Amino acid sequence: MSAILPAEIIELIIHETWMLPLTNNDRLAFMKASLRISSWWLLTFLQESFTDVYLVSPKYSFYLASLYRIREPCHILTINTSQLVLQSCLAHQCRSITLGHKRTEVYYARMIIFNLPRCPKITMLFRNFAQNYPSWLVTRVQDLFATANKDGHLRLIFTYDTTAVDYSPRDRYSYASEHCFYPHDIFSTREMGRLLSPFIGVRRLEIKGANPCAVFMTVEACPDLEFLETDADENLIRGGFNVANARPPASCPEEAYFFTKWNQDYPTVEMQWPNIRNISAMQCRW
């Protein structure tokens, strides 16, 4: 009985694993393991990871972006009898890129996309991200769609791990006040007008886990938008900024949580999330 898995099984294992919602650390561990299992596994993994690209670490992001640096020699990888020119493989196979929200990740993604023949689907993951300011509108995300030709697909996914020891309602509910998400003049100020540089080329937008006003402002930044998918109430979004900006009555204590200018930087113990309070109490005992 052969100890070598059939090619079809290897392809299935790699594809199904790669499509899982893994953390960056878990995905990076799978990537490192895939380099050492077998030559066929490595070849299959490279094809899969170049089709749906995940920027799992700063070093990996830099490596992929560096493939297209000026005067950079072709990176040729020989596996068995196959010779892969990595720049060419990535350019012709990439259909999606998933990254975080940091400026460096957007910068490296932009370097890659500028060298692709078509704009891939862009997914940005925001984990335990404070929505107290729509900062994804200022990280030059719009530059990722310079080659989209009005057929860009942008996904903005916000998730929160309330069991994490460093989680705080600040991450999710740190808005302008108990009654609105953002200051009333944020959408009309000259600064916000500058921040809302249009996301030209974005035809399809998916935004999940964001408050209605954040969705509204993102939609307003997409002049070519035709399809919107969101878990926010679209009636609020269609109602305009003031309607979308009105926070609903709190349905639980953590939703009522908010900071004022007097306690945003130094919240009292009572204002902190229970697991944060427990850590503070333990530190006091020590």
Q: If you average pLDDT over residues 71-97, what whole number do you get? A: 77
Quick one: average pLDDT of 44-64?
Answer: 92
If pLDDT is split at 50, 70 and 90, which confidence band does 255 have? confident
Cα-flanking dihedrals φ and ψ of residue 177, to 5°?
Answer: -160, 180
Pairing of strands 96-99, 82-85: unpaired
* pLDDT attached to residue 135: 75
pLDDT at 64 over 80: yes
What pLDDT does 194 receive? 54
What is the torsional sign of CA 161, 167, 169, 170?
Answer: negative
| Mean pLDDT calculated for residue range 31-59 | 90
Residue 168: both structure tokens together: 């705080």
Using pLDDT thresholds of 50, 70 and 90, give the confidence band for residue 53.
very high
Which helix (H) or strand (E) segment holds residue 182: the answer is none
Mean pLDDT of the chain: 81
Tell me which of 81 and 128 has the higher pLDDT.
128
Predicted local distance difference test score (pLDDT) of residue 18: 95
Q: Is the pLDDT of residue 243 over 90?
A: yes
pLDDT at residue 257 tops 70: no
The half-sphere exposure of 174 on its side-chain side, counting CA atoms within 13 A, is 20
Ranking 78-82, 161-165, 250-254, 277-281 by mean pLDDT, the lowest is: 277-281
191 vs 93, residue with greater confidence:
93
Residue 90 has pLDDT above 60, yes or no: yes
Is it the case that residue 267 has pLDDT exceeding 70? no
Residue 248 DSSP class: P
pLDDT of residue 153: 96
DSSP 239: T
Percent of the chain with pLDDT over 90: 36
169-201 per-residue burial string, b: 16 or more CB within 10 A, e: under 16: bbbbbbbbeeebbbeeebbeeeebeebbeebeb
Do you know the residue count of the chain? 286
User: Which pTM does this prediction carry?
Assistant: 0.82
Q: What is the pLDDT of residue 108?
A: 93
What's the confidence (pLDDT) of residue 185?
78
Q: What is the per-residue pLDDT for 284? A: 44
